[in-house]
Structure 1
Amino acid sequence: MTRTAEVNGITVSFDDTGDGPAFVLVHGHPFDRSMWWPQVAALTAEGYRVVTADLRGYGRSTVVPGLTTLETFARDTFALVDHLEIDDEVVLAGLSMGGQIAMECYRLFPERIAGLVLADTFPQGETPAGHAHRNQVADRLLAEGMAGYAAENLPKMMAAYNVEKMPQVAEHVHAMMAHTAPEGAAAALRGRAERLDYRELLTTVAVPALVVVGRDDEFTPVADAELMHGLIPGSQLAVIDGAGHLPNLEQPAAFNAALHDFLDQ
């Protein structure tokens, strides 16, 4: 059952499922917490308490226009952890933008994190061309809405061959994108354009870490995952065959197996 919490001046919509050690899952752009449903089911079955929230600007959480930094998202994430009175360290997972939020969380709150899962993401700071592009896309979303963006990006978010092969997954992914508030998505894009470079931070990670990537991810290719794996001491790397940028939805059994192996170590 969906719950809400007042944190950092906004209303956050979230799910808190299961009992046991806490596992916090951070969604990517332009999605919502429903992208994690296969993992919520698997992790609660393994005895974890799983927290998934809609980031500000996404899903049913408050839409805040303007510019939303990764630091703001990270502070929202742990404000919710505090609201839920989770005093122990949490395992933190994020995909794409969510992975960058997880890195920012580790920068701000390393003592509160027991393990990191970084999926289909990358640590590098923004290039001048990337900075301009993200702001151009933000302008477009505000002017046109999400429909065109969602249609164009569906065969990139998923591996193109999975769009027809997995119609229910494709419908879910498209719906998440299409239903995102343009103001929230634009604010996040502008904030990501200002992000830090996390490569040096990753060399200091002192908790177990898993890097996951879809074999055919166009946005964050395997090379980005290999870079993070090389930077994070003692990390594990899982490359998921038959998947693009959303292996947790395209190949949930393989993604969940990688999580299981990581947590079982």
Structure 2
Amino acid sequence: MKHTHQRDVLPRTPEDPSSPLSPGTHTITVPHGSARVALRYHVAGSGPVCLAHPGGPGIGWEYLRMAGLEDALTMVYVEPVGTGDSGRLPDPRDYTMATYAHFLHAVVQHLEVPRVTLLGHSHGGFVAQRYALDHPARIAALVLYDTSPVADEEFWSAAVDAMERFMKDHVDEHPEVADYVSALTSRLDLMNDDGATAVLRTTMPAYLYDYWGREAEFAPARRTLRMYAAPSRGEDSPFDVRDELPSLAPPALVLAGRHDFICGPRWAALLHEGAEDTEVTIVEKAGHLAHLEQPAQFDASVLAFLGAHGVVGDVR
């Protein structure tokens, strides 16, 4: 497989304020059916272009900020449709994988670079897989971060089981975790944005390896998490690309936290086994948010992978 060289993905000079890659917040308008919907994205850093798609569906993009990668990459943080100041779909049933891939493609085309690195976290990793399968020529490399090639009944049952174990392990010291299983299985599609946000903030400690040991560090981030309810109303079949993984063309780094209760090593192994050109990094002492818990190791793993595939220069 031929790999992209740095010249393929360098952005235009950031000093040009008209560039779609100038630092700051940008808004584009994307056709969707008979509607035109606003979509925002945020640019920071310099170097080859890396799009980052957050999880959820419906989680605000801010938690995914990766300052360490911005030293070597132009990070483009997508604010997915239905979240933040991006637009809402006229029919909430349309929040599907095809829709997210459609809006992501609009951003890739707007950036006017031949190929990009695509980093998808959790549900954003589902979107990244779908997009890379549909548009392999636009992707120099993939970072599939705490995600899975499938989110079927077995996947969700395993997540509930893991949350129950987390509850049993911590309920004596932290009685509030007794409500975590009911929060995880609550109907977000019946809530408003404040209700969805409350669920996310309530359960955040379960997404980290040692929240209470580093509470002073993580509590401010917990208070700023946002989740938007409309994307939970999408009507889509369960995500499953396992049969398509052998045709996944771009090289992929599969990265997962050792203690991620929802998208941990079990699901990383499925990605690695199913796709041909992958490597796996398991981050110790991390849950679902390794870029916050172990940022130095996270950044080094991503940049070493991109360096090995010619996307960035020598990062040693």
TM-score if structure 2 supplies the norm length? Answer: 0.72
Give the counterpart of 1:89 among 104, 115, 121: 115
1:16 Cα deviation (Å)?
Answer: 2.1
- Report the counterpart of residue 180 of structure 1 in structure 2: 227
Q: 1-side partners of 2:28 and 2:244: how far apart?
A: 31
Match of 1:11 in 2: 38
- Size of the alignment, in residue pairs? 253
Deviation by residue 1:161-186 (Cα, 9 ceiling, x = unmatched)? 2245143434324422xx333224x2
Cα distance in 1 for residues equivalent to 2:155 and 2:269 = 23
Match of 1:239 among 282, 285, 305: 282
Tell me the secondary structure at the aligned position of residue 263 of structure 2.
coil
Aligned to 1:122: 148
Q: Which amino acid aligns with 2:292?
A: L
Distance, in Å, in 2 between the alignment partners of 1:262 and 1:128 is: 31
1:25 Cα offset (Å): 0.7
Change (3 A) 1:143 1:45: closer
What whole-Å deviation, never above 9, does each CA across 1:115-143 have from its counterpart, x for those lacking one? 11111111125238959x99962334249
| Alignment of 1:194 onto 2:244 | no
What's the offset of the Cα at 1:225? 0.7
- Larger Rg computed on CA atoms: 2
Verify the 8 A CA contact 1:21 1:90 in the aligned structure 2. Answer: yes
CA 1:143/1:61 → structure 2, altered by over 3 Å: closer, same or farther?
A: closer
| Matched ranges for 1:24-43 at <5 A | 24-29=51-56, 30-38=58-66, 41-43=67-69
What residue in structure 2 maps to residue 63 of structure 1?
A: 88
CA contact (8 A) 1:31 1:173 kept: no
SS at match of 1:259: helix
Q: 1:32 Cα shift?
A: 2.2
Three-state SS of the structure 2 residue aligned to 1:167 is helix
Structure 1 residues 147 and 37, CA, compared in 2 at 3 Å: closer, same or farther? Answer: closer
Structure 2, gaps ≥5 residues long: 1-23, 161-183, 309-316
Q: 1:24 to 1:253 in 2, by over 3 A?
A: same
Contact 1:12/1:62 (<8 A) preserved: yes
Distance in 2 of aligned mates of 1:143 and 1:233: 40
Cα drift, residue 234 of structure 1: 3.1
Which residue is 1:146 aligned to?
196
Q: Alpha carbons of 1:112 and 1:146: their partners in 2 closer, same or farther (altered >3 Å)?
A: same
The alignment yields a C-alpha RMSD, in angstroms, of: 2.6
| 2:203 partner letter | N
Q: Give the letter for the 1:162 counterpart.
A: Y
Deviation, 1:247, is 0.9
Provide the C-alpha distance between the structure 2 equivalents of 1:257 and 1:112, rounded to a whole number of angstroms. 24
Q: Deviations over 1:216-255 (max 9, x none)?
A: 0001121111121121213111111111111112211111
**SS at 1:145's partner residue?**
helix
The 2-side partners of 1:135 and 1:151 are apart by: 15
